[in-house]
Chain A
Amino acid sequence: AQTVTQSQPEMSVQEAETVTLSCTYDTSESDYYLFWYKQPPSRQMILVIRQEAYKQQNATENRFSVNFQKAAKSFSLKISDSQLGDAAMYFCAYRGDGDDKIIFGKGTRLHILP
């Protein structure tokens, strides 16, 4: 069975600094998708970034980028120039190609220090 592990329950970063959130996953499939979702306090969960396993190039969305290491089954999220609005719970997630469901990690709560 596939699993997603986020080993950092909480992290803090100074405003304007860079922070990296870790995620590892376990799967025997070769085709799959990885996601990072953000859930701000009392607000909707939104998709931050997505990576297709068949793509070697790391996905980037403005200040958010990933380090996708397929052999190591690692999918970390880097947030550059952290802003107060980045404070949220971040979930790493996996979907196998053809699967109905997404498997989520337990989340990392990110605090931004002014």
Chain B
Amino acid sequence: ETGVTQTPRHLVMGMTNKKSLKCEQHLGHNAMYWYKQSAKKPLELMFVYNFKEQTENNSVPSRFSPECPNSSHLFLHLHTLQPEDSALYLCASSQDMKGPREQYFGPGTRLTVT
């Protein structure tokens, strides 16, 4: 285990549903990230939060809405998704200090949009 947990692990939702993904890190890190991982595609960075402030939005559609209430928790609110949004959504965290700041990943949420 890496100290980063994600719930739920699997989610099936219809295109009109609203759901949320949750990420929690127990490492004392200050930076958190959302990635999308699709088959045969590289990891796509979606959002970056540093000390609860969003510092990166990688041109993500507004049907994905992140929320970072504190440095330990990160949410991804989903609404009116499309089938092409089906993917593995990974959360990661890192220390916000000078240095390598390697990221620690959660197990991911496997999302299927029907």
Enumerate chain A interface residues (CB-CB to B < 8 A). Answer: 33, 35, 37, 43-47, 50, 52, 91, 95, 97-98, 100-102, 104-107
Near A by CB (< 8 A), chain B positions 96-114 give: 98, 100-108
| Majority-rule SS of B interface residues | loop
Q: Is B84 in the interface zone, CB < 8 Å from A? A: no
A101 to B90, CA, bound (A): 14
* A33 with B107, Cβ < 8 A, contacts A100-B56, A105-B42, A106-B42 known: no
- Cβ 8 A contact of A101, one of B2, B45, B106, B108: B45
A100 to B47, CA, bound (A): 10
Q: Are B50 and A100 in contact, with the CB atoms below 8 A? A: yes
Cβ–Cβ < 8 Å partners of B23 in chain A = none
Q: Are A100 and B55 in contact, with the CB atoms below 8 A? A: yes
**A43 closest partner in B (C-beta):** B107
A105 to B31, CA, bound (A): 21
A102 to B102, CA, bound (A): 8
Enumerate chain B interface residues (CB-CB to A < 8 A). Answer: 1-2, 31, 33, 41-43, 45, 48, 50, 55-56, 90, 98, 100-108
For the A-B complex, the count of residue pairs with Cβ-Cβ distances under 8 Å equals: 47
Write 19 A-B pairs (CB below 8 A) sorted by A numbering.
A33-B100, A33-B102, A35-B100, A37-B105, A44-B1, A44-B108, A47-B102, A50-B100, A95-B100, A98-B98, A100-B31, A100-B50, A100-B55, A101-B33, A101-B45, A102-B103, A105-B42, A106-B42, A107-B42
**B110 closest partner in A (C-beta):** A42
Q: Are A46 and B105 in contact, with the CB atoms below 8 A? A: yes
Q: Are A45 and B105 in contact, with the CB atoms below 8 A? A: yes
**B100 closest partner in A (C-beta):** A33
